[in-house]
């Protein structure tokens, strides 16, 4: 027996849950482990995640795909099947701020991130020592004026060579080109402070301090061609007071960045996210 996760989206209508469950149990002799669903009443869309176990041979021989396509066609489903036993391969991108990189590597070492990390890519060498400590190969790809397209080509070649399933921008301070993003559509996760678009520029915490904000936050999201406007995966906030200095804001903000980025990566690895329009559905 093996476990699998079915994720699907389709127009909402009566009989959907019954049809899906009858298929899994009656035709597949599957044991349902967990099921979650969501309806978007405004758009008339239905979303579902089903975790189940069944005979391994049925998945390996793609019998499931052939049989389930009949139901998917009838109900106009967009669907995907994932096997949790098949570990995703993740590449971490980093620049000079190392807090998110350190957090992800430590979580991976502790077994919280069920994936393989075959390489780390950095446009600065700051993350190389951390990569070496955790035994992950580090690839230095410096970006200078006029060579960005060549460096991105080199980076994409590395991703292909290592069969990467997910790219995580662990405070990678470069804007990815449209061609890069399109090549890894819905496979790139980024994190940034939640001040956007209120406090743009290189020193958002300084600007927020000057404005006297009472809340600061962080956001993790999928990367799209529209800068920092991809589907949001997770957000969190914390209070600040008049007694907090700029270094206090930076420290608190970085703590939030670690948390929301790691949660987003874990949910992606566990196949808990469905994205539609410019939104996400996160299943428990």
| Burial letters 99-115, b for 16+ CB under 10 A, else e | bbbbbbbeebeeeebeb
Strands 115-122, 88-94: parallel, antiparallel or unpaired by DSSP? parallel
Q: Which of 12, 116, 126, 228 is catalytic?
A: 228
CA atoms of 92 and 268, how far apart (whole Å): 14
Query: Sheet of 115-122: strands edge to edge?
Result: 138-140, 115-122, 88-94, 166-169, 188-193, 215-222, 232-239
Q: Which long-range CB contacts under 8 A does 126-132 form with residues at least 24 apart?
A: 126/94, 126/95, 126/96, 126/98, 127/94, 127/95, 127/98, 127/101, 130/98, 130/101, 130/102, 130/105, 131/105
Omega of the bond leading into 197 within 30 degrees of 0 (cis): yes
What residues have CB less than 8 Å from 156, skipping those under 6 apart? 180, 183
Active site residue 228: yes
C-beta of residue 8 within 8 angstroms of C-beta of residue 18 = no
Residue owning tokens 């000057």:
210
C-beta of residue 155 within 8 angstroms of C-beta of residue 141: yes
> From CA 239, how far away is CA 234, in angstroms rounded?
18
C-beta separation of 141 from 153 below 8 A:
no
Active site residues: 228
């Amino acid at each position: 027996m093996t476990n699998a996760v079915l994720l699907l989206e389709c127009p909402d209508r009566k009989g959907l849950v019954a049809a899906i469950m009858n298929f899994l149990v009656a035709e597949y002799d599957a044991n349902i482990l967990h099921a979650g669903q969501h309806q978007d009443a405004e758009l008339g869309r239905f979303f579902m995640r089903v975790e189940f176990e069944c005979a391994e041979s049925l998945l390996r021989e793609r019998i499931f795909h052939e049989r389930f396509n009949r139901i998917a066609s009838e109900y106009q489903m967009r669907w995907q099947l994932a096997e949790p036993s098949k570990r995703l391969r993740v590449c971490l991108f980093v620049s000079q701020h190392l807090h998110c990189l350190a957090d992800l590597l430590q979580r991976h070492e502790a077994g919280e991130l069920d994936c393989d990390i075959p390489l780390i890519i950095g446009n600065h060498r700051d993350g190389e020592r951390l990569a070496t400590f955790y035994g992950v190969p580090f690839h230095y790809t410096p970006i200078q004026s006029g060579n960005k397209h060549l460096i991105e080509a080199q980076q994409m070649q590395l991703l292909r060579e290592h069969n990467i399933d997910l790219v995580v921008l662990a405070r990678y301070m470069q804007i990815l080109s449209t061609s890069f993003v399109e090549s890894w559509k819905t496979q790139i996760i980024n994190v940034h402070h939640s001040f956007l678009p209120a406090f743009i520029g290189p020193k958002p915490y300084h600007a927020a301090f000057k404005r006297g904000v009472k809340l600061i936050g962080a956001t993790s999201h999928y990367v799209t061609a529209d800068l920092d406007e991809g589907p949001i995966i997770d957000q969190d906030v914390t209070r600040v007071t008049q007694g907090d200095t700029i270094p206090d804001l930076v420290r608190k903000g970085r703590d939030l960045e670690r948390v929301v980025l790691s949660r987003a990566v874990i949910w992606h690895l566990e196949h808990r996210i469905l994205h539609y329009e410019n939104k996400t559905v996160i299943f428990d």
